[in-house]
Amino acid sequence: MPSLSSLGLDVNPSKEPAQYPGAAAGESCLAIGSWLYPLVPQPTVGFAEWPLDVDGGPLRYKTAGRPTQTLAAALAIAGAPALADRFPVIAVGSNAAPAQLLHKLSSEDRVSLVVPMTLANVEAIGIAHSAHISKAGYCPYIPVADKQAIEQLSILWLDKSQLDRVTETEPNYQAVTSGRDSPPALLPSGERIDVFSMYRGRWGALRYTTTDDHRVEATTQERVFNLLSSHAWFRSLVPECEDGPLYAMRSLGSDEQRRTEVREQMARHGLATSDGLNRLDSFAPQPYSEAVSAR
């Protein structure tokens, strides 16, 4: 698989907020810097043994004559921590976009840029908008409890340094861990992830009106900003919204005080509601060997 730029996956929402949540890979892969190696799920075969083809990129010289590798072998060849030392983290927003993840990890010199990313079916977790505006100016996604939901989400398999770094970049989120009493996430190979972590929003979920408790389900920034602009208090705080969502995002991205005021007004006007995840209040990430079981 070519580089992020060749694939059109180099959109970084931190720099292009209107494009939030960014472009996800759309398949399981091993990310090494800006290069993605597709992983091919194998039924009944453990995740570590999924094959990948070295079609260029940073592994090409190290695997000359051996283009097909397993994930376990590729991690070893790349000099990266093994799967046994990695923790599953559900990504519901921009962390699922390789360009955003690379942006976060590359800001710390001692953090590896090698990350396996898998798709998985996750039950009872939906995606809504947080009742706040991010530092970049967009209204981000958060996980919410939804008994009816079955979502195909990205799971990042982070080593300890990567996990610490990503957590540092999430000041508006609380890292939490879903235990064995919750529905598991299911990998295409049949493995069940019984314990996984995620980032829970600190400010609750955005809802449509004060009388309708329906959360605003994950949508485009244009739509959510048009919704916010329907409120007089928002138009007063962010007059730039009259020129369109992009102008509103840019102005908020450069004004921390107004971002705080918008968040406070969301709560004051009853537009912030519970994410339904109150049962998740602790962070106890488990490595692959303890988090995953065979189906």
Domain residues of the chain, as ranges?
4-204+276-293, 220-273
| Measured distance between the N- and C-terminal CA atoms of the chain, rounded to whole angstroms | 30
pTM: 0.94
- pLDDT value, residue 273: 94
d(CA 113, CA 215): 35
3-state secondary structure at position 210: coil
Element containing residue 116 per DSSP (H, E): strand 114-129
Residue type, 140: P
In this prediction, residue 43 carries a pLDDT of 87
φ and ψ of 90, to 5 deg? -70, 135
What was the pLDDT predicted at 260?
98
What is the per-residue pLDDT for 194? 94
Q: Name which CATH class applies to 4-204+276-293.
A: alpha beta
Structure tokens at 82: 């093994």
Q: Which residues contact 57 (CB under 8 A, 6 or more apart)?
A: 3, 32, 33, 35, 37
Report which of 160, 167, 109, 100 is spatially closest to residue 136, judged by C-alpha positions: 100
Tokens representing 68 are 């097909």
**Helices and strands (H, E) in the chain, number of each type:** 9, 14
Q: 10-residue block means of pLDDT along the chain (295 residues)?
A: 72 91 93 94 90 88 77 94 96 94 88 96 95 97 93 96 96 93 90 95 90 86 96 96 95 97 96 93 91 72
**Smallest Cα–Cα separation from 134: which of 34, 206, 230?**
206
Q: How high is the pLDDT of residue 39?
A: 95
Residue 260, φ and ψ in degrees, nearest 5: -65, -40
